[in-house]
A = this chain, B = another copy of it.
Amino acid sequence: MTALEAVFWSAGMSRAELAEQTGFSRSKANTAASSLIARGMLDETGPQASSGGRRPETLTLSSSMGLLAGIDLGASSVDVALFSPDMTTLAHHAEPIEVSDGPGIVLSRVREILADLRQRCGVRSEQVIGIGMGVPGPVEFERGLLVAPPIMPGWEGFSIRDYLGEEYRAPVFIDNDVNVMAMGEMWRLHRELPNFLVVKIGTGIGCGIVCNHTIYRGANGSAGDVGHICVDPAGERCHCGNQGCVEVMAAGPAIARMGTEAAKAGKSAVLAQVLETQGRIRPEDVGQASRGGDVAANAIIKLSGKLIGQMLASVVNFFNPSHVFLCGGISHIGPLFLASIRQSIYQRSLPLSTRHLEIAYAPLGDRAGVIGCAAMALQETMRVRGVLP
């Protein structure tokens, strides 16, 4: 690992830690640090307050390098932030947005938000050195283009790079929403776990794969597209044309549909009441009914968790990750959900695969996406510049 890489993956480190992480001698680490400071790539801050008294000088990526922009676009929201190279958030804004409105409307709003955030920080567009964006659809990473995105009509072939390039000189990197979350979690973990998964459960179901300390995108960039893994060959028909995809059987819309059916069939007084009042049932209504002890709602959430766990069991058998981190709006629908996913994975995976497997909520939660966008932008920008391998 190079000295710059070591500092990139840390939240700041002393020269002694740098030597340890890189395997360099103290004097070689000192030379490397001094050279990077002279080149304007590292800053050395003064002693930091800590519980253990005076902390040694701390190396971070230099703020003189410029800023990073992260844009995490979801199906119905966008999360934009500016970061310094040490990944401190400088300005942040989130708002609802409909990705189905198409790239023209969505990206012009993104540009407005970015300009507003820059103004708040007093920085010009030239000071942004890298832009990372996460999108809720399949991406060809090298070309930065969406490929047949099911919930993003009008985006296929649209060059987000060219559009943002009108205002920014910085390179633009685009990846799907779960890969940027995986990148965010990898950055948070200081790249300590070599092999883990980040599974996002919302309107759809997707998976970010970390393999040997890097985001694994597969031969065509579609690795992690687990939403259409079959969990019941005789199950419901999915919009993809096949039957029994985990997404159509267990994601947000399926939970809402099952809730509506339970309400109409007189199986849940609570949900029947919601249906009458609101005219429809949302996944979160089922979650709330479940937390209130509603038997039908409990059964729906357990079934959804069981099916997702069944899909994840296949993935765990194949990939044998150390951790499976869950995120996305549906993942927090209630305590039974996580328990049911866990039970299903442990039941259907081989003992050797699950002996040390941890299944937990993604620690960064909703913030993982936008942090991952910025971390990806920084890593890829430094690669383009030839300073990171």
Contacts and interface: CB of A to CB of B under 8 A. Distances in A.
A211 interface: yes
Contacts of A313: 229-230
Contact of A224 (B221, B228, B232, B318): B318
A84 B194 CA distance: 34
Nearest to A211: B211
Interface in A97-153: 138, 147-148
SS of A interface (majority): loop
Interface residues of A, number: 50
Contact of A148 (B225, B351, B356): B351
Contacts of A319: 218, 223, 318-319
Interface string A337-348: 000000000011
Interface of A: 138, 147-148, 194-195, 207, 209, 211-212, 214, 216-226, 228-233, 240, 242, 310-311, 313-315, 317-322, 347-353, 355-357
A355 B317 contact: no
Contact of A195 (B219, B314, B349): B219
- Counted per complex, copies of this chain come to 2
Chain B CB within 10 Å, residue with most, of A209, A223, A229, A317: A317
A318 B233 contact: no
A232 B233 contact: yes
A231 B229 contact: no
Contacts of A317: 222, 225-226, 228-229
A126 B168 CA distance: 64
19 contacts: A138-B350, A138-B352, A207-B318, A218-B320, A218-B321, A219-B320, A219-B356, A220-B356, A221-B352, A222-B352, A222-B353, A223-B319, A224-B318, A225-B320, A225-B352, A233-B310, A242-B347, A311-B314, A318-B318
